[in-house]
Chain A
Amino acid sequence: MRIALKKQVIVNSDHRLSHVCGFEKCMQCGRCTASCPAALIYDDYRPRDVMRKLQLGDIDSVMPYLWRCGQCYSCAARCPRNNSVGAGILALREKALATGVAPENIKAVASLIHKNLHQRGETFLPYMLDFIGEFGPRTTMRCRDNGNRRVRLGFDRDDARMQPIPADSMAEIRSLMEMTGYKGDNDA
């Protein structure tokens, strides 16, 4: 690869990249990769490589692999320089979604989470368990009545809590979402 002699304009305005990720002081020892569950499973993902690309300013090539990370922070726990690949990944994910280079299924997740927060001020809701796929006949049978059971325990059927968040708080939450530029499908 050729690193051309032209001024590199790298705007590093995300606090996580400038203060938490620590890629500048990464010594490329590979302990993060050795500890990473995703690296164990996916041949194309190595957290050390993500740090290397950040060091060389080659962020575009890393974009497709951002969604491999399971955010367990084993990398951060083991790094001898107190770096955090996980934090860097989050900053890059935000950038990917903002510039539209995220995969379609991730965009769908983003849309869903935004909707949940906007409607109920909560991220994970009971209906999402339907989303989560096949867990075997016995489990499906045991858990199919969980909707009623939660009501029995005093919780709202559709909300995560016993009582949904009151309206005035929801107004504040929506307002903050808008003020911080968090857009979803239902925003203009």
Chain B
Amino acid sequence: MKPSVGVFICHCGNNIAGAVDIEKLKANACAEGAECVEDHPYLCSAEGQSLIKDRVNALGLERVVVAACSPNVHERTFRECIGEAGLNPYFLDIANIREQCTWVPSEDPTGRAADIIRSSINAVRHARPLDNITVKAEKSVLVVGGGIAGITAALALAKQGIRVHLIEKSPTIGGNMVKIGKVFSPDKLTEDCSMCSLAPIMSEVAKNKNIEIKTRSKIAGLKGHAGDFSVTVEHEPGFVDTKKCTSCGQCASVCPSLTDDEWNAGLCARKAIYKPFPQAIPAAYTIDEKACKKCGNCVKACGAGAIDLEATPFKETLHVGSIVIATGHKELDPSDKYELGYGKYEEVITQTELARLLAVNGPTSGKLEIPSTGKAPQRVVMIQCVGSRDEKPGSIPYCSKICCMVALKHANYIKDHFPGTEVYICYTDIRATGSYENYYREVQKKDVTFIRGRVGEVLKNEAIVVRVEDTLGGGPVELEADMVVLSCALEPSAGTIEAARALSIGLTPELFIKEKHPKLDPASTTARGIFVCGTAAGAKDITESILQARAAASKVAELVSAPIEIEPKFAVIDYDKCTSCGACIKLCPYGAAYSNGRISIDPLSCIGLGGCILRCPEHAISLPGSSDSELYARIDGMLKGEPKMIAFLDENIAYVAADNAGVNRIPYPSSVRIIRVPSIMRLEPKHLIYAFERGAAGIFLGDGTTNSPEGAIRANVAKRVEELKRAVAVAGIDPLRIFYYEAYLPHYRGLASRMERFDQELSAMEKPPCPIASCEKRTAEIK
């Protein structure tokens, strides 16, 4: 028993009524077996909608076709309308007879409109009831990395009532910002103490009840999907109970073992049992296992009984709704750049080492001196772009963004605090963007000498000599120096690469975390539900890290703070057919398919392209609203009479471009009949063969999703088009009857002209071979 269908045709004032014969269309609709056929000047009006609802209720209509403007204008309106009348909102189909019919200059708009309406009537009879689903994510987040980005994100989320697990690899949070000593301030034209800004935030994190800090912790593995992750976290022992430790320091005074102090860039030593720095959080001592001799002196000395040398590593599993990666960066190690003498000459240091030297809490208590000799330098030469903007092996091709400002900051500080010291900066470009230009100008005024040239090498010939060209006319220069400071590139930290591997998310060629769409979706990674912020995603300064941390926090909040309603546009698995072969898991570019006992599709990650449908060997996957029967029905509806060009257009780009063509009254061939699909990846050979055997002269495939952040992958689309062409060739149809066009939203003229061109090519070919009668057997076989 076919469900009863009501067809409502809108005049749209004169937009539709002025171009087509409404009465004829009504008669056609009746002829198709519609139980109710009405027309109205403005169906979208309150009166028009009332008409629909009245008819539905009065006649017990089970399906509704609205023949009017584009679904992109009022589909939602009419769904709500029939919903109010008691019908499932997805029992509606819109016949686009305005943008894609009456607004397109052509010979027989009435004929075209009749086809479009018939197609909708056919399809709506196959519609299934659908509902939005609600996804409730775990209201918690794992933040990986406790630097400025991680703790900003953690606080932003905690303050919204979201539970935060903050894990950090080292014994304390704080990250690279702890080491830099000073931050530059463009409005004050001076340097602020970085710890003064950072430590209060660190304290806040410690005090916030919604944040649990776990230091000496790393990600070991991941299961699950957005909203429902199970993360395995590994904890290394610090051998000191941070709750019992009072930071009295007795343990360190009796510890016999010394090692390099990494918080001072290795420029001085610390004990194996140590507190990283006074403001460390957790505020406790910790033991460096590699340096520890296990002598037990500290245990004896500890009045609080906080030390347990037998502590062991352990793992735990955390259930969280979302993950934020904030694993930071490291300074490139210039030891392999033999031509710069780092590691060979004690006078050559990095900007981080200089920052520690100039820091009041550093190894020299803020005195500028050459680390090994203790002498104050007369001339400091800074070398920019060490390992940055460099395509040679061992370097990074991009600009590290902050090193120009770091050099200016240190130059300014040295000039202010160590007057009489000469400072030279050898640069390729000075990148002081925005109001940082003021800073650059002020530093120039302090008599810092700028040489525009990328340094070739640093040698020792009696004195240290820096070889550079003054490209602004001075020629090759041999600059003597007694301290050389290398402004090294920012590289991804080891933790960043480890986290990416553990979470199976994409990395850029330089091994930073790959942002899903660096321009339009910068805090997202390639995995739904996992976000990134800070230098883990690429070189940036503190301000940008904070901005990105807040962006990531905002995205986490969208996901986890309240249940999310999702439209039923995602793929669904029929478990009667699924054999758990896992093919869909391997091929989905969005990682939407996952195994969880059985194969599942994450509604949050699936964007509904339908590419997986063809690939499932058991044909167990389907897209609601785009079932095989609906597609066949639409094709049937379009193909009555003369051979037509069926145009399958993706709903987001190509279909909208076609609407735009109509809005601009651009003509395209009268034979074109447009069918909206999620993407042409939904199409299978059987659909095309069906269309040809029902009398289609040609099939136009338009898809523009490859240009947007959430769309098909271009290579996959090209592959699919080739596959479709081959399959129809095997079925005896000329593959030149298929035309693929990569659509662009603004290029609706291009869409029209391609259809025109294809139409001409088709006219040059022989008439399509297939009369409808002999097809029916074949189509029955295909179905």
Which A residues fall within an 8 A CB radius of B? 27-31, 33-36, 39-40, 43, 46, 48, 78-82
Inter-chain contact B389/A30, CB cutoff 8 Å: no
Residue of A nearest to B397 (CB): A80
B475→A46 contact, CB < 8 A: yes
Asked whether B469 lies within 8 Å of A39 as measured between CB atoms, the reply is yes
Given A28-B471, A30-B468, does the pair A35, B456 have CB atoms closer than 8 Å? Answer: yes
Do A43 and B453 touch across chains, with their CB atoms under 8 A apart? no
Complex interface: chain A residues within 8 A of B455 (CB): 31, 34
B86 within 8 A of A: no
Q: Which chain B residue lies CB-closest to A81?
A: B391
| Candidates A34, A40, A82; contact of B453 at CB < 8 Å | A34
Given contacts A80-B385, A80-B392, A80-B395, contact A31 B476 (CB under 8 A): no
Find the residue from B395, B428, B454 having the highest chain A CB count within 10 A: B454
Complex interface: chain B residues within 8 A of A80 (CB): 385, 389-392, 395, 454
B residues near A43, Cβ cutoff 8 Å: 475
- The listed residue (B339, B390, B471) touching A48 by CB distance below 8 A is B471
Q: Which of B36-83 contact A (CB under 8 A)?
A: none
In whole angstroms, what is the CA distance A80 to B388 when docked? Answer: 9
A-B contact pairs, 18 of them (CB 8 A): A30-B452, A30-B453, A30-B471, A31-B454, A31-B469, A33-B453, A34-B456, A34-B457, A34-B467, A36-B476, A39-B469, A39-B475, A40-B476, A46-B469, A48-B469, A79-B392, A80-B385, A80-B389
Q: Can you name the residue of chain B whose Cβ is closest to the Cβ of A28? A: B471
Chain A residues lying within 8 Å of B470, measured Cβ to Cβ, are 30
Interface size on B, residues (CB 8 A): 21
**B residues near A29, Cβ cutoff 8 Å:** 385, 428, 453-454, 471
| A34–B392 CB distance below 8 A | no
Q: Chain B residues near A36: list those with CB within 8 A.
A: 476
Complex: A173 Cα to B467 Cα, angstroms: 45
A35 and B467 contact, CB distance less than 8 A: yes
Assembled-state Cα–Cα distance A46/B469 (Å): 9
Interface pairs A-B: 9 shortest CB-CB = A34-B456, A30-B469, A29-B454, A33-B469, A35-B456, A30-B453, A80-B390, A30-B471, A31-B454
Contact in complex: B391, A31 (CB < 8 Å): no
Residues on A with C-beta less than 8 A from B457 are: 34-35
Let me know if A30 and B454 touch, CB within 8 A: yes
The proximity string for B residues 333-344 relative to A, scoring 1 for CB distances below 8 Å and 0 otherwise, is 000000100000
Q: Which residues of chain B are near A31, meaning CB under 8 Å?
A: 453-456, 469
A108 to B133, CA, bound (A): 86
Q: How far, in angstroms, from A43 to B475 measured CA to CA in the complex?
A: 8
Chain A min CB distance to B412 (Å): 24
A34: nearest residue on chain B (CB-CB)? B456
In the assembled complex, the CB of A139 is this many whole angstroms from the nearest CB of chain B, namely 27
Tell me, in angstroms, the Cα distance from A48 to B475 when the chains sit together: 10
Residues of A within 8 A of B471 (CB): 28-30, 33, 48
Chain A residue numbers with a CB within 8 Å of B456 are: 31, 33-35, 78
A39 to B428, CA, bound (A): 19
- Output the least CB separation between B384 and chain A (Å): 10
Docked pose: A167 CA to B78 CA in angstroms: 93
Within 8 A of A (CB), among B449-486: 452-457, 467-471, 475-476
Chain B residues close to A by CB (< 8 Å): 339, 385, 389-392, 395, 428, 452-457, 467-471, 475-476
By beta carbon, the residue of chain B nearest A77 is B392
Q: Which chain B residues lie closer than 8 Å to A78 at the CB level?
A: 339, 392, 456
Max chain A CB contacts within 10 Å: which of B339, B471, B475, B476? B476
How far is B470's CA from A78's CA once the two chains are assembled, in angstroms?
17
Contact indicator A34/B391 (Cβ below 8 Å): no
CB-nearest residue of chain A relative to B467?
A: A34
Bound form: Cα–Cα A117–B507 in Å: 53
Give Cα distance in the complex from A30 to B469, angstroms: 6
Indicate if the CB atoms of B454 and A34 lie closer than 8 Å. yes
Residues on the B chain within 8 Å of A34, using CB: 453-457, 467-469, 476
Decide: A82 near B392, CB < 8 A? Known: A29-B471, A35-B457, A39-B469.
yes
Most buried by B among A35, A36, A48: A35
Shortest B334–chain A CB gap in Å is 15
Q: For the complex, what is the distance from the CA of A81 to the CA of B390, rounded to whole Å?
A: 6
A78 CA to B453 CA, complexed, in Å: 13
**Which residue of chain A is the closest to B453 with respect to CB atoms?**
A30
Q: Given A29-B471, A35-B457, A80-B395, 18 other A-B contacts at CB below 8 A? A: A27-B389, A28-B471, A29-B385, A30-B468, A30-B470, A31-B453, A34-B453, A36-B476, A39-B469, A40-B476, A46-B475, A48-B471, A78-B456, A80-B385, A80-B389, A80-B454, A81-B391, A82-B392
Report chain A residues within 8 Å CB of B339: 78
- From residue B32, how far is it (CB to closest CB) to chain A in Å? 64
Docked Cα-Cα span, A82 to B392, in Å, equals 7
In the complex, what residue of chain A is closest to B429 when comparing beta carbons? A27
Minimum CB distance partner of A31 in chain B: B454
| A75 and B724 alpha carbons, distance in the complex (Å) | 52
Closest CB of chain B to A72's CB: distance in Å?
Answer: 13
Report the Cα distance A31→B391, complex, angstroms: 13
Distance between A140 CB and nearest chain B CB, rounded to angstroms? 32
CB neighbours (8 Å) of B389 from chain A are 27, 80
When distances are taken between beta carbons in the complex, the residues of chain B under 8 Å from A28 are 471
How far is it, in angstroms, between the C-alpha of A104 and the C-alpha of B454 when the chains are bound?
A: 36
Within 8 Å CB of B428, what residues of A? 27, 29
Specify the chain B residue showing the minimal Cβ separation from A39: B476
Chain A residue at minimum C-beta to C-beta distance from B451? A30
B392: chain A residues at CB < 8 Å are: 78-80, 82
Interface centre among A30, A46, A79 (most CB of B within 10 A): A30
Q: Is there contact, CB below 8 Å, between B391 and A46?
A: no
CB distance from A57 to the nearest CB of B (A): 20
**A38 nearest CB across to chain B (Å):** 10
Residue numbers in B under 8 Å from A33 (CB-CB)? 453, 456, 469, 471, 475-476
Least CB distance, A31 to chain B, in whole angstroms: 4
Most buried by B among A33, A34, A36, A43: A34
Which of B390, B391, B428, B456 neighbours the largest number of chain A CB atoms within 10 Å of its CB?
Answer: B456
Nearest CB of chain A from residue B478's CB, rounded to whole Å:
8
Chain B residue at minimum C-beta to C-beta distance from A33? B469
Contacts of B390 in A (CB 8 A): 80
- Which residues from A are CB-within-8-Å of B385? 29, 80
* Bound CA span A28–B427, Å: 11
CA distance A65 to B452 in the complex (A): 23
Q: Are A46 and B395 in contact (CB under 8 A)?
A: no
Report the minimum CB–CB distance from A187 to chain B (whole Å).
Answer: 41
Of chain B, the residue at the smallest CB distance from A25 is B391
In angstroms, how far is the closest chain B Cβ from the Cβ of A128? 32
In this complex, what residue of A is CB-closest to B388?
A: A80
User: How far apart sit A78 and B468, CA to CA, in the bound complex (Å)?
Assistant: 12
- Give the nearest-CB partner of B452 in chain A: A30
Within the complex, what minimum Cβ distance (angstroms) separates B489 from chain A? 11
How far, in whole Å, are A46 and B391 apart by their CA atoms in the complex? 22
In the assembled complex, the Cα of A82 lies from the Cα of B453 at a distance in Å of 17
Chain A min CB distance to B509 (Å): 15
Counting chain B CB atoms within 10 Å of each CB, which of A31, A39, A81 scores highest? A31
* A43→B469 CA distance, assembly (Å): 12
Cα–Cα, bound, A29→B392 (Å):
15
Which residue of chain B is the closest to A47 with respect to CB atoms? Answer: B469
User: Which residue of B has the minimal Cβ distance to A83?
Assistant: B391
Contacts of A82 in B (CB 8 A): 391-392
Q: How far is the CB of A67 from chain B (nearest CB, A)?
A: 19
Inter-subunit contact A46/B476 (CB<8 Å): yes
Shortest Cβ distance from A18 into chain B, in angstroms?
19
CB distance from B338 to the nearest CB of A (A): 12
A35 to B, closest residue via Cβ = B456
- Docked pose: A40 CA to B250 CA in angstroms: 59
CA distance A2 to B50 in the complex (A): 75
Tell me which residues across on chain A come within 8 A of B476, comparing CB atoms. Answer: 33-34, 36, 39-40, 46
Residues in chain A near residue B475, CB distance under 8 A:
33, 39, 43, 46
| A30→B383 CA distance, assembly (Å) | 13
